[in-house]
Amino acid sequence: MENNFDVIVVGGGASGLAAAVEARRAGASVLVLEKNHMPGRKILSTGAGKCNFSNRKVGPANYHGAPAAFLKKTFTALPPKKITAFFEELGLLWTEGEDGKLFPRSMKAQDVVAVLVNELASGGAQLRALTEVLSVRPAADGFEVEAQKVPPQWDKKSARGEKTVLRCSKVVLAAGGPCYPQIGGTARGAELLRGLGHDVSPQRPVIVPLKVREDFVKEMDGVRLEAALRLSSQSGDSWEARGEILFTDYGLSGPAALDLSRAAAEALAEGPLQAEADLLPDMEADELQALLAARAERFAERPFSHFAAGLHNEKVMKVCAGLAGINWQALTGQAEQEALYSFGLTLKALPMEVTGTLGFAEAMVSAGGCDTAGVDPATFASRKVKGLYITGELLDVDGDSGGYNLHFAWTSGILAGRAAAR
């Protein structure tokens, strides 16, 4: 087997595949090493299987970690529109959803993986799956990359296979972050980078579901609704997001909760956070109370369940009625006026206590990572190790939810792949 390449890409995820495509197009011999059984496994899980691969509104303000000046240089070197052009050239049709989110037109993440892998195969790049990189060492005229055959993640019985030392002129380190270890997330890339002399800050989960103390969320498990969510910390800071929330048996997920999770993850170090969800954000509090009062008269001789039917989601109504002390089966007319008022208040501000996050196991993105001062923003070349390129989530750059993280992965991968092939 050939063991000498112009460019070795460590990690066949979003940024690694984009880097490999560009390096191969520029004429380099390319090998991608991926420890999973297939490349692009995490891409398959993105956007709930639809892959929100970019956003029409991409700009430095959507990112955290790296200074805005770094991202400005990156987006000057590869303007955001070039990402859709890159995918169009690979054969992918795409479409725009809410808030500028871009998806494959088929709404299938596997199409995104397919066009990348097809391009690599027809271009003659090599891809070795179930191959984990153990070390990357600078050597005369390039690098020595030590790799080992590994069994698939679900196979707990088979032993690891033989080790090989591969040689190359350039290395693109595209090993991603530690989120979702069940589909390949690992801190191994950060360790490799530290070994190569880069400053790497601790990685932490950021776009991550929130745990809530109250058991009533279990009764609303699976309910998705448009809400305005507000979090307040012990020290008086507060954050608000409007959008879809998803109640789960442990707490809150969905775009609005995920958007607030970055701030929540940091503030939780001080202790639990107070949360309030406005479940009818389109309606003013007075307007709602007037509506409830009129309804109370109309349904006075009927059970409260009839009063609630058609007002909002039934599971939510039951929880809010319970919190206001209203008997769901009793006649509406028997409910105290105060209890009806409190029911309205609960709908406008469902109180909860956020006690934690689900951590790396369920986080979509990690913050922290390789200090961007150590890389060139236009080529993603290491300023510390000649011939090394660092891409994607390994870097201390994390985007908001909405396609920004994959956008950065493709952008850094393309720029690194091009530069590495030079």
Q: How far is the CB of 413 from ligand FAD (least distance, A)?
A: 7
Q: Residue 320: name the closest of 399, 166, 216, 417 by CA.
A: 216
Q: How far is the CB of 142 from ligand FAD (least distance, A)?
A: 18
Contact segment (CB under 6 A) with ligand FAD among 45-53, 268-276, 300-308, 316-324 equals 45-53
- Of 103 and 307, the one with the shorter C-beta distance to ligand FAD is 103
Tokens of 209: 């579901």
- Of 289 and 401, the one with the shorter C-beta distance to ligand FAD is 401
Residue 47 binds ligand FAD, judged by CB under 6 A: yes
Q: Going by C-beta distance under 8 Å and a sequence separation of 6 or more, which residues neighbour residue 48? A: none
Q: How far is the CB of 91 from ligand FAD (least distance, A)?
A: 20
- Of 178 and 344, the one with the shorter C-beta distance to ligand FAD is 178
Please give the Cα distance from 175 to 170 (Å, whole number).
Answer: 15
- Of 46 and 372, the one with the shorter C-beta distance to ligand FAD is 46
Q: According to CB under 6 A, which one of 7, 8, 9, 14 is a site residue for ligand FAD?
A: 14
Q: According to CB under 6 A, which one of 13, 209, 251, 374 is a site residue for ligand FAD?
A: 13
Tokens of 243: 């959008």
The string of DSSP codes covering 171-205 is EEE----SS-GGGT--SHHHHHHHHTT--EEEEEE
Residue 261 binds ligand FAD, judged by CB under 6 A: no
Contact segment (CB under 6 A) with ligand FAD among 9-17, 223-231, 258-266, 345-353 equals 9-17
First CA to last CA across the chain, in angstroms? Answer: 25
From the CB of residue 146, how many other CB atoms can be counted at a distance below 10 Å? 14
Binding to ligand FAD (CB under 6 A): which residues in 176-205? 176, 179-180, 184, 186, 188-189
Binding to ligand FAD (CB under 6 A): which residues in 292-311? none
Binding footprint of ligand FAD, residue count (CB under 6 A): 38
- Chain centroid to Cα 254, Å, comes to 12
Q: According to CB under 6 A, which one of 41, 230, 318, 348 is a site residue for ligand FAD?
A: 41
From the CB of residue 77, how many other CB atoms can be counted at a distance below 10 Å? 18
Q: According to CB under 6 A, which one of 7, 8, 11, 259 is a site residue for ligand FAD?
A: 11
Please give the Cα distance from 422 to 417 (Å, whole number).
Answer: 9
Q: Going by C-beta distance under 8 Å and a sequence separation of 6 or more, which residues neighbour residue 66? A: 372, 395, 396, 397
Residue 35 binds ligand FAD, judged by CB under 6 A: yes
Q: How many CA atoms lie within 13 A of 309 on its CB side?
A: 9
Residue 375 binds ligand FAD, judged by CB under 6 A: no
Please give the Cα distance from 193 to 153 (Å, whole number).
Answer: 24
Residue 231 binds ligand FAD, judged by CB under 6 A: no
Residue 233 binds ligand FAD, judged by CB under 6 A: no
Binding to ligand FAD (CB under 6 A): which residues in 399-418? 403-406, 409
Quick check: 302 and 332 in contact, CB under 8 A?
Answer: yes
Q: Which residue has the tokens 């984990």?
A: 132
Quick check: 17 and 117 in contact, CB under 8 A?
Answer: yes
Helix 81-90 vs helix 404-421: crossing angle, to nearest 10: 70
Q: Binding mask 347-366 vs ligand FAD (x if CB under 6 A, - otherwise)?
A: -----------------xx-
Q: How far is the CB of 335 from ligand FAD (least distance, A)?
A: 43
Q: Going by C-beta distance under 8 Å and a sequence separation of 6 or more, which residues neighbour residue 158? A: 151
- Of 263 and 358, the one with the shorter C-beta distance to ligand FAD is 358
- Of 129 and 345, the one with the shorter C-beta distance to ligand FAD is 129
Instruction: Give the burial class of 240: count Cβ atoms within 10 A of its Cβ; 0-12 exposed, 13-18 middle, 19 or more buried.
Output: middle
Residue 102 binds ligand FAD, judged by CB under 6 A: no
Residue 248 binds ligand FAD, judged by CB under 6 A: no
Using CB under 6 A, list all residues that contact ligand FAD.
10-16, 33-36, 41-42, 45-47, 52, 132-133, 174-176, 179-180, 184, 186, 188-189, 364-365, 392-394, 403-406, 409
